[in-house]
Structure 1
Amino acid sequence: MASVFTKIINGELPGRFVYQDDEIVAFLTIAPMTQGHTLVVPRAEIDNWQDVEPAVFGRVMEVSQLIGKAVCRAFGAERAGVIIAGLEVPHLHVHVFPAYNLTDFGFAHVDNNPSAESLDEAQTKIKAALEALQSSAS
């Protein structure tokens, strides 16, 4: 059975995407630790990060770094947090989020009911930051 992330990637469930390429996607989580909390996910359904091919893991981390730069730029954070938990959804994903202090690093403090407006605002800000980062790299 397809994971919830595969269903989001395939368009069977809604997702607020901020990044997509042939191998990797990034979309906002519905339970953010901070506004802008993004999940970086390979299109291939891989359960455990320890089982992923090194080249694919490298791409996941490359995109995670790009998303980290974008969320810092979009939300004025000095740091981006990164977590690989791998417990709730059996599909490799990296949590990337604006981190302002150590209390941001905890799933106990997630917003389980973020407003659509907050998610839309985060999506818009991250996409704009990504566009700015990519155009300055060219």
Structure 2
Amino acid sequence: MDIFSKIAAGEIPSYKCAESDKFYAFLDINPLAKGHTLVIPRREVDYYFDLEDGEIAEMAVFAKKVAKAIKAAFPCRKVGMAVLGLEVAHAHIHLVPMQTEGDMNFANPKLKLSPEEFEEIARKIREKF
């Protein structure tokens, strides 16, 4: 079982933002912005484009609901979406609140937040979801 599957199963702690029977959303622990969230399928699939067509559609709709909750909790111009990440062999979508396109640059310095700040951010998103 990979690290993201363990997170979704509750075996590794995370800052949960939203969940369904098929998908799980939690805060990125190295965020580009407050509200930076990862959306994963519960089913272990390494590469996003190896998901079944129906799974991609359902995951996109779930991510849309999470993005709307992020935007409501953290007012921004838009919530950017990126599918990348070679470091974890589990398909995932990054949702990042942004004011400019530069906010989606993954080379940018990451925020350093306390556990209390992470919990507050996750709570705000859960309440809007």
For Structure 1 versus Structure 2, the TM-score category normalised by the shorter chain is over 0.9
2:3 is matched with which residue? 4
Contact 1:80 1:97 in 2 (8 A): yes
* TM-score, normalisation: structure 1: 0.88
Equivalent position amino acid for 2:105 in 1 = G
2:72 is matched with which residue? 73
Q: Which residues of structure 1 form unaligned runs of 5+?
A: 131-138
List, as ranges, runs of 4+ consecutive aligned residues in structure 1 with deviation greater than 3 Å: none
Matched length: 129
Contact 1:82 1:96 in 2 (8 A): yes
| Structural mapping, 1:17-32, within 5 Å | 17-32=16-31
CA separation of 1:58/1:110 partners in 2, compared to 1, >3 Å: closer, same or farther?
A: farther
CA separation of 1:99/1:112 partners in 2, compared to 1, >3 Å: closer, same or farther?
A: closer
Structure 1 position 84 matched with structure 2 position 88: no
2:119 is matched with which residue? 120
1:109 is matched with which residue? 108
Quote the offset at 1:110 in angstroms.
Answer: 4.3
* TM-score, normalisation: structure 2: 0.94
Q: Deviations over 1:1-53 (max 9, x none)?
A: x2110111112210111111110111111011100011110000000111110
Contact 1:68 1:96 in 2 (8 A): yes
2:47 is matched with which residue? 48
Q: Which residues of structure 2 form unaligned runs of 5+?
A: none
Contact 2:45 2:90 in 1 (8 A): yes
Structure having the higher helix fraction is 1
Quote the offset at 1:113 in angstroms.
Answer: 3.6
Equivalent position amino acid for 1:13 in 2 = I
